[in-house]
Amino acid sequence: MVAASTLLGAAGEHYVMSLLLRHGFIAALAPVGVPNCDIVVTDDIGDRLWAVQIKSRVDRAATAAGT
């Protein structure tokens, strides 16, 4: 069984990547095991390159309140 923290991390990475793609950036998940990088991002021309690290967490207070 996959740990809840692993699923939360993957969900956060995919969410951020979808936002980057919607804003016109070219984004891809980095291979598993790459240190300090979850998503590789470039602009549409390829002039700039960014390595992005994502940190996801659950707001327990909001979850308990049902929001």
State yes or no: pLDDT of 61 exceeds 90. Answer: no
**Predicted local distance difference test score (pLDDT) of residue 4:** 86
Query: Is 32 inside any structural domain?
Result: yes
Tell me whether residue 66 is in a domain. Answer: no
- Over residues 5-44, the pLDDT tens digits come to 889 999 999 999 999 999 999 999 999 899 999 999 999 9
Q: Is residue 34 part of a domain?
A: yes
Mark out the alpha helices in the chain (DSSP H runs): 4-22, 60-65
* Structural domain contains residue 60: no
Q: What is the pLDDT of residue 3?
A: 86
Domain that holds residue 9: 4-55
Does residue 67 sit in helix, strand or coil?
Answer: coil
- pTM value surpassing 0.85: no
Measured at the CA of 56, the angle between CA 65 and CA 50, to 5 degrees, comes to: 145
The per-residue pLDDT for 67 is: 60
Q: How many domains does the chain have?
A: 1
Closest CA to 26 of 43, 11, 38: 43
Answer whether residue 67 is part of any domain.
no
Whether 10 maps to a domain, the answer reads: yes
